[in-house]
Every structure is written in structure tokens, then in C-alpha cells.
Structure 1
Amino acid sequence: MRQYRKLGKNMAFITLGNFASKLLSFFMMPLYTAVLTTTEYGIADLMTTTINLLAPFFTLIISEAVMRFALDDNKDSKQVFAIGMTITICGFGIMLVFSPILLLSKNLARYYWFFILYYLMTTIHTLVSQFVKGIEKVDVYSISGVVQTIALIGLNVFFLLGLKIGIIGYLLSLILSNVIAIVFLFIRGKLWKYCISLLKIDRKLLKEMLQYSIPMIPNSLSWWVSNSSDKYMLTLFLGVAVTGVYSVSQRIPSMFAIISTIFIGAWQISAVDDFGSEKSRLFYSNIYKIYSSLNILMVSGFICLSKVLARFLFLNDFFDGWRFVPVLLFAFLFQAMAGYLGTIYTSSKKTKMLFISTVSAAITNIALNALLIPIFNAQGAAIATLLSYLLIWLIRLIDTKKILKLDISFGSDILSYILISIQIWLMISDVLWMQRMAWGLLAVLVWVNRTMVSKMLGMFTKSIRMINRQKRGDR
């Protein structure tokens, strides 16, 4: 029960912080779609996508190693933090040397210095937040998400509605909100206590951390291809305006991804406890079943609400993007489950095993984009994303048995996936009576997954009560 209480407590903290912040960001979409053109939003999204591509190469994904090694009691947290910061800053210097290549892109050249600052602040924020989570200051990590979001909203209102400077204001908001979050984490996390001279870095620990993180670069690149290559190919085949609409359509699936992010954020802390034991195997199996059922119901509910949400969130020319949402939601379901299975690799420190699954999916994604976009336009990109995530999940489901054999409810999961596929077809048909039938399937899915959902709610309720008791005790 200690493992479940720890997981539930961390989930409660991260939910209270991250869910509120992500929800606020989600409801900023009407402002973005009203103020920015499809082309401007497409350019801004391409900048974020490009940063997500470059960061793993120049940071060596050291932030993941920082979190994992900070969780180890027998590792010096000061050394872990110093190594992470050194590699991040050195990587930024190397990136600057190669950054003039960006000037070859007309879309990125106009905002070159915004791109540079955005990259720097994003990578430092990622490192600092992962370290804070690694030293198990989960409350500070969670609150920082709210602080960043409030700052982002305030800056967006000031720059977009007050000064009315369009995409420049949007980019400034992203940069400055990261700066504010970094400052908050340093102060509340008391990170100055972990700062040491870079000349005193433990080379043996440096080697261990790099052996952990470097094999994850191909994995990260492959995830990027699966997540983002469709945007570049849409730009190539259909233009940046279509890319802007497609990018906006991913915002509703991102709401579902909030739940996944919250869970994995808490799970990464609990996943390493007693890893490899029979107790750990049962723990992983139970959490997989609960997590799977929760994701299935979340996706099903969002599919039913996709058009309604789009009417509120996607203004003007962006509204047509709702048609891509149901397929993308299904894709994000498999991404979430593949991410869970990925923690088996990271907990066992066998990160090389992540490579095959993600590379296979990345190659599949590129091939399917090239094949399906000319035929189905942007919907082809959504289908390619779905099939590539499905492939990652299947490969990891089979391969992780070599490390930890999970007990999985295949029957109910497969039935649920079939019902969701039917839901997608009913929604995309855009016929009212068929869309109403999709709600009926949601009710069926609730019944199919009722046992696991009941367990999840029980865990979460107990965790909230425990936090409240602790707060009363502190008083």
C-alpha cells in the first residue's frame, strides 16, 4: 500500500498544480485563433517543433538523467545538478555556432533571436524542473506550472491585446514565462544549495549519466518524427496555413495528454521503487490496467466532445481542424500507453531498448505521411500519427516482457479499441444522429472499464484525504 499511497500523493500534488495550469492554457486558444492568422500560428508552432528537434542533440537529454539519478539516494544531488547544468549550457554554445543555418528558412529567419532565446529558456527550464522533481520537491514542481501559466496568460493579454504586436508578442510571452518559472524554481526549490564549482564535477558520475541519457537521443528523435514530421510534410504538400490549422487541432488531444503527463510525472518517481521484484511486477501490472482504462474513457469522452469544444476554441478559419481531432485523440491514447511501457526501460536503466520501437515508428510515420497526405490531405497526417503510435505500443508491449512481464486485460482493452474506432467513424461522419450514437458507445466503455476506474478513483480520493490530514497536522 505504501507504493500506491506514494503514487497517489504525487499524482494529487501534480494534478493540483499542472491540471489547473494546463486548463488555463487550453482556454487561451480562442485568443490565439482570434488574434493570430493561420500562417502566424503555423510559424510559431514550427519554431516550437524545431526546438523539440534540436534540444535532444545539444542537451544530450541530460534532464532525464538528472531526474533519474537525483532519485537515487546513493548519488550526490549537487553533482547531478552541476553536470546537468554544465551540459545544457555547453550544448547551447554549440547550438549557437550552428544556428545561422536557421537563416536559410524564411519562416524562421525573421524571428531568429526569438528562436535563440526561446531555445535557451526552454532547455534550462526543463533541466531545473526535472531536477526539482528528482529531489522529490513535487509540490514546488507543481506550483511552478501554475506560476508559469499565470505569467503566460498575463503576458499574452499584455502583448496580444494591449500592444497588439501579434506573433512577436506571442513569442515574447513564451520566453518570459519560462524565465519566471526558472526563477521561481530556483527560489522555492532552494537550488542555490546544489550549486558547486564546475571544476569539481565527478567524471565517473558524468560518464554514468551520459551512458543513461545518450542512448535516449535516437528515441527522442524518433518520438519527434512521430509527433512532428507531419507538420513539415503538410507544409511541403499543402502549405503553412494548413499546418497552422492542423497544429490547432492537436490542442484538444493535448488536453487528454495533460492527464497522461500528470500521471507519468508522478509515476516516474514511484516506478523505481523495488524495481524487478515480484511486488514491483504486480504494482506495474495493476497501474497499467488502471491507467489504460482511464485513458480509454478520457479519449472516448473527448471524441464525443470534439466538435463542441472546437466551436468554442477554434475561431475563424481554424474551425475545420475539428475533423482531425478524433483520430489524433486515438493516437495520443497509444502514445500514452507506450510512454508507460517506456518507464520499464528507464527504471531498469536499459534505455537502449527504447531505440528500436521509436525508430521503427518514425520510419513508418514518414512513409505513411508521404503516402496518405496526398490522398487524404491533413487527415492523412492524423492517420499516419495514429498508426505509428500503435506500432510503438505493440513493439514495447512485446519487448518489455523480457524485463518485466505484466498481467494485462487484453480482452477488455481490444474491445475498447474497437468501440473507439467506431466512435471516430460516427463523429467524422458529421451526421447528427450518428454522433449521438457515439455517446452511447461512451456509456458502453464506462461499463467495460468500470472495475479499474473504481480503483483509480479510490486511490485518488485516499491521496487527497492524506494530503488534507498532513496540512491539518502542519497547522
Structure 2
Amino acid sequence: MSQSGKLLKNALIYTVGNLGAKLLSFLMVPLYTFYLNKADLGTYDLLLTTVTLLAPFISIQMAESAYRWLLDVKDNDHNRQSTAISNSLLVFLVNNIAFTLLFAITQLFYKVPYATEFAIILFLNGLLGYLQQTARGLGLNKLYSFIGFSLTFFILVSNVVFVVVLKMRLDGILYATIISTLVAIVILANRSKIHQYIRFNTISKKEIKSMMAYAWPLIPNTISWWLINEVNRFIILFALGVDANGIFALSNRFPSIILIVNSIFMLAWQDQAIAIHDSEEKDAFYSKIFNVFLTLEFTLVIALTAVSKYVVKLVASPAFFNSWYYMPILYLSVAFASFSAFLGVGYLGSKKTKGLFTTTVYGSIINVAISYLSVRYIGLYAPCIGTCVGFVIIWVLRIRQTRAFVKLKINYTNLAVMLGVTFAVMYLVTLNNLYTDVLCILIAVATLFIANKSLLQYLYGFVQKSFASFIPKHSRS
């Protein structure tokens, strides 16, 4: 099978387990907006934002180290697998215990709302993420996908029970999250048989030091969406208030549609890019996939920009309708974030992760500066623009840095055309005219099929061959 075929096959496997989970954040919008007020939604979003921020620091990204080390294991060497898992798991648990004790002491002097629920969610999310990455490293991609699908089901059912039936509002959402995550952890640990890889005699100070040196620069990269976007919520909270934070929170839910595609693709791309890192065809393969990915991203941005106001009107309460104004810029931000993440895989393959740290820090500084200095003058547009510019800076810096280990050839003509169409549609939708709105939708549909013609043809051929392989030869004759 070709490298493109392997990439697509892995992407399809990950899609099964991740599509529902990624769609969930979008599908839960009606429930959250109708059963929570703006303040509750803002508090919940701030809680999850803080979890997203702290999790990489507490885990020190040892899940990523375990995954990368396991990919280097040849012939299912059980001893080397045990070494990678035992050492990374030890660091993960020690750091979580230390944080829990520190957090408990802090509670004696400053009471944090929902402190117990917060601490439990933080630990369980980190543990589930560690077990998922370990499963990927062991080649258990189908199990990884199964857990993602199961978690989606558990969260959906428990949210309906606690929020809709029992009417527990914010408390219900937190309880649903805890119970669902815990069930997923038990299933994953049992199916992956991770206990068979935990051996104390493989603990090595040298190995831990090496894994931590690889992992720590990944912390800002992992929370880059927080550093470049989520930190804006604290700026909004102090400058504009909790209601504005609720509006911004909903605006951020809709870009998750693009994140659905990105996160699934990035999982498969990470597997494939690391596997071919030392291959002579690496540069050509990187360039081919990136240019296809770039076109797909912009067509998604255009399509979502064209229909956002109508989707918001359909699924959210009237109090949140104005959130659609900020979505187009956030869609574009997600696109450039994905371009940055694409190049970030090159750092992982070479195990030179320091560049991930520096580029993310520079982008973060730009974002904070723009958001903080302009939020009182242009309101919620400030964090949106700051987010977008921050990710553009990261992408440009990574293009320059990664030339040392991958020479990416970008189709700049196509980039200019796609940007032009994107900006045109972003302007037209602000006119609030039915005819221009219809025109934008027609442009989006045309761009989607024309610009992605080659990709769609390849996908059709791949799916056709895949189905044909399941049909016995005598049945086709």
C-alpha cells in the first residue's frame, strides 16, 4: 500500500472513534445554552479551560514520550515496551500526586469553586490521555478508536440523565464528565492489558531523564490553542465580564467542526510522518500532503463562514445569536493552527522538540499583546484577531525552522487564491443580506468540489477498492 493509502487507512480508523467525540462538543451546544445561563456556561468553560492549561504541566507530556518511544520498538520487544511504559507512568503518577497535595494545601487559604470535581476531572483526563497514547504506541489503533466512540456515548447519555432529567445544571455536567471518563479508563486499561507492561525493574533514571527532555518542550505546543486562544478568556473575563465570556465560549464551539477534521487527520499524519522520517521520499510526501491539506482547510473555513449565522440561529438560544460575528476569524485561526501542527510533527520525528517550544512562545506573546491592548476598543474582535495572528506567526516560524529536516514546497499561488476567496466571503456575510448570503453558500459549495476535485477522486477510488477487497472473487465474476 502507498504512503498516501496508509495515511488514509489510519485516518479512517481514527475517524470511527473520534468523529463522535469531536462532534459532541458541537451537538451539546443546544443542551448547554438552554439548560445553563450565560454565567454557568462561562464558569463551565473557564473550568475546562483551566483543566486544558494545567494537564500538560502536571503530566509533563509523558504520554507523548511513551507513544514516541513505543514507536521505536521493533518486533514487539516486550522489555523495551515495559521500559517505556513503566518509566513514563511513574513520572505521570508522581507529578499528579504532588499536584493534588499542593492543590489541597491551597484550598486551606483560597476556596476554589467546584475544587473536588476540578481535581478529579484533571486527573482522570490526564490518565485517559496517557492510556490512549500508550495504546497507539502499542499499535492498538482500533482500541483507541473504540474508546473514543464509547466515551462519546457515555458522556451523551450521562449528560441527558443529570442535566435534562435530574436538572442538576452545572453540577450534572461535571458528574457526567467524571463518571464517563472513569468508565472509559477501566475499559481501556483492561483491553490494553497495560498491567502486563508495568515492571519496577525497568525503572531507569537515565531513561526518565531522556523522556522528560523530549517531553517538556511539547507542553506549550500541546496547550498552544490555550496559549493563543484560551488565555483570551481570562482577558475577556476581567475586561468585559462573564457574559461576554459566555458569548466567546459559544463562538469557540463552532470552530470545533474544523478541529474534528484536524485532530483525526493529525493522529494519522503523526503515525505516518514519524514512520517515514528517515525515508528519501519524505520531502515530496510532506509537500504533497500539506498542499492537499491546505486546500481542504480553507474550503472548510469558507463553507462554515457562509452558514454560521443560520446554524447559530437554529441550535442556540437567541441570547447567544451575536456569537456568529466572531466565528469566521476563529475558523481562520484554526486553519493556521492546523498548518502549524502539521509542521510540528517534523520536530517529533527528529526528536528535536525545542523548536515547538520557542515558536509557540513567540506566537503566544503576539496574541496576548494584541488581545490585551485592543480588547477595550474593539471588544471580542480583539481576542479573535490576536488568536489568528498568533498562529500565523507560529506557522511562518516553523516553516523556516523545519527546513533543517524537511524541505516543504508550498503552492503559494493556491494559498493566495484561497485566502482571497476566504476574505471575500468573510466580508459578504457581514452585509446581512439574503442574496449575498445565498451567493456565499454557492461559492462555498463550488469551492469545496472544484478545489478538492483530486482529493475527492482519490477518496472515491480508495473506498471503492476497500469495499471490493471484502467481496469474494467468485462473487465479482
Task: Indicate whether the TM-score tops 0.5.
Answer: yes
**What are the within-5 Å matches in structure 2 for residues 117-266 of structure 1?**
117-197=120-200, 200-220=202-222, 222-266=224-268
Deviations 1:206-239 (A, max 9, x none): 2221111012234445542102111000001011
Q: Give 1:191's aligned amino acid.
A: I
Partner of 1:64: 64
Alignment of 1:110 onto 2:110 = no
Q: Are 1:39 and 1:244, in contact at CA under 8 Å, matched by a contact in 2?
A: yes
Q: Give 1:142's aligned amino acid.
A: S
Matched-pair identity in %: 28
Q: Give 2:232's aligned amino acid.
A: D
Partner of 2:475: none
Q: Return the alpha-carbon distance in structure 2 between the equivalents of residues 146 and 388 of structure 1.
A: 33
* Pair 1:193–1:144, CA change in 2 (3 A): same
Q: Give 1:345's aligned amino acid.
A: Y
Deviations 1:350-377 (A, max 9, x none): 1011122111110000001012211221
Alignment of 1:380 onto 2:382 = yes
1:469 Cα shift? 6.7
Q: Return the alpha-carbon distance in structure 1 between the equivalents of residues 21 and 242 of structure 2.
A: 29
Q: Return the alpha-carbon distance in structure 2 between the equivalents of residues 398 and 317 of structure 1.
A: 44
Q: Give 1:128's aligned amino acid.
A: L
Partner SS for 2:407 = coil
Alignment of 1:44 onto 2:44 = yes
Deviations 1:22-43 (A, max 9, x none): 3244212101111011111111
Q: Give 2:88's aligned amino acid.
A: G
Q: Give 1:159's aligned amino acid.
A: F
Q: Are 2:22 and 2:256, in contact at CA under 8 Å, matched by a contact in 1?
A: no
Q: Return the alpha-carbon distance in structure 1 between the equivalents of residues 237 and 108 of structure 2.
A: 16
* Pair 1:334–1:355, CA change in 2 (3 A): same
Partner of 1:17: 17
Partner of 2:395: 393
1:468 Cα shift? 4.8
Q: Give 1:95's aligned amino acid.
A: F
Partner of 1:55: 55
Q: Return the alpha-carbon distance in structure 2 between the equivalents of residues 101 and 449 of structure 1.
A: 57
Q: Return the alpha-carbon distance in structure 2 between the equivalents of residues 364 and 352 of structure 1.
A: 19
- Further displaced range: 141-150 or 13-22: 13-22
Partner of 1:4: 4
Q: Are 1:249 and 1:321, in contact at CA under 8 Å, matched by a contact in 2?
A: yes
- Further displaced range: 316-325 or 34-43: 316-325
- Further displaced range: 125-134 or 313-322: 313-322
Q: Return the alpha-carbon distance in structure 2 between the equivalents of residues 440 and 464 of structure 1.
A: 32
When the two chains are superposed, the root-mean-square deviation of aligned CA atoms in Å is: 2.3
Q: Return the alpha-carbon distance in structure 2 between the equivalents of residues 95 and 257 of structure 1.
A: 30
Q: Return the alpha-carbon distance in structure 2 between the equivalents of residues 330 and 461 of structure 1.
A: 30
Q: Are 1:9 and 1:464, in contact at CA under 8 Å, matched by a contact in 2?
A: no
Structure 1 residues without counterparts, runs of 5 or longer: 471-475
TM-score where L is the length of structure 2: 0.92
Given candidates 71, 80, 83, the residue that maps to 2:84 is: 80
Q: Return the alpha-carbon distance in structure 2 between the equivalents of residues 15 and 105 of structure 1.
A: 45
1:348 Cα shift? 1.0
Partner of 1:416: 418
Given candidates 80, 88, 94, the residue that maps to 1:90 is: 94
Q: Return the alpha-carbon distance in structure 2 between the equivalents of residues 307 and 313 of structure 1.
A: 10
- Further displaced range: 295-304 or 219-228: 219-228
Partner SS for 2:274 = coil
Q: Are 1:293 and 1:452, in contact at CA under 8 Å, matched by a contact in 2?
A: no
Q: Are 1:10 and 1:266, in contact at CA under 8 Å, matched by a contact in 2?
A: yes
Deviations 1:398-446 (A, max 9, x none): 2212221012211101210121112112123323222223224325534
* Pair 1:256–1:450, CA change in 2 (3 A): closer
* Pair 1:434–1:93, CA change in 2 (3 A): same
Partner of 2:294: 292
- Further displaced range: 274-283 or 415-424: 274-283
Partner SS for 2:351 = coil
Q: Are 1:36 and 1:167, in contact at CA under 8 Å, matched by a contact in 2?
A: yes
* Pair 1:138–1:353, CA change in 2 (3 A): same
Structure 2 residues without counterparts, runs of 5 or longer: 473-477
* Pair 1:418–1:276, CA change in 2 (3 A): farther
1:125 Cα shift? 0.6
Alignment of 1:332 onto 2:331 = no
Q: Are 1:9 and 1:467, in contact at CA under 8 Å, matched by a contact in 2?
A: no
Q: Are 1:290 and 1:456, in contact at CA under 8 Å, matched by a contact in 2?
A: no
Q: Are 2:64 and 2:215, in contact at CA under 8 Å, matched by a contact in 1?
A: yes
Q: Return the alpha-carbon distance in structure 1 between the equivalents of residues 72 and 378 of structure 2.
A: 49
Q: Return the alpha-carbon distance in structure 2 between the equivalents of residues 214 and 324 of structure 1.
A: 33
Q: Are 1:20 and 1:146, in contact at CA under 8 Å, matched by a contact in 2?
A: yes
Alignment of 1:269 onto 2:262 = no
Q: Are 2:63 and 2:88, in contact at CA under 8 Å, matched by a contact in 1?
A: yes
Q: Give 1:161's aligned amino acid.
A: V
Q: Return the alpha-carbon distance in structure 2 between the equivalents of residues 354 and 310 of structure 1.
A: 35
1:101 Cα shift? 7.7
1:347 Cα shift? 0.9
Q: Give 1:78's aligned amino acid.
A: S
Q: Are 2:16 and 2:149, in contact at CA under 8 Å, matched by a contact in 1?
A: no
Q: Return the alpha-carbon distance in structure 2 between the equivalents of residues 131 and 463 of structure 1.
A: 31
Deviations 1:174-200 (A, max 9, x none): 111111111121122232322323x53
Partner SS for 1:250 = helix
1:53 Cα shift? 1.5
Partner of 2:317: 315
1:454 Cα shift? 3.4
1:456 Cα shift? 5.0
Given candidates 427, 430, 433, the residue that maps to 2:429 is: 427
Partner SS for 1:350 = coil
Partner SS for 2:255 = helix
Partner of 1:473: none
* Pair 1:212–1:271, CA change in 2 (3 A): same
Number of equivalent positions: 468
1:462 Cα shift? 5.7
Q: Return the alpha-carbon distance in structure 2 between the equivalents of residues 447 and 31 of structure 1.
A: 33
Q: Return the alpha-carbon distance in structure 2 between the equivalents of residues 418 and 212 of structure 1.
A: 39
Q: Give 1:86's aligned amino acid.
A: L
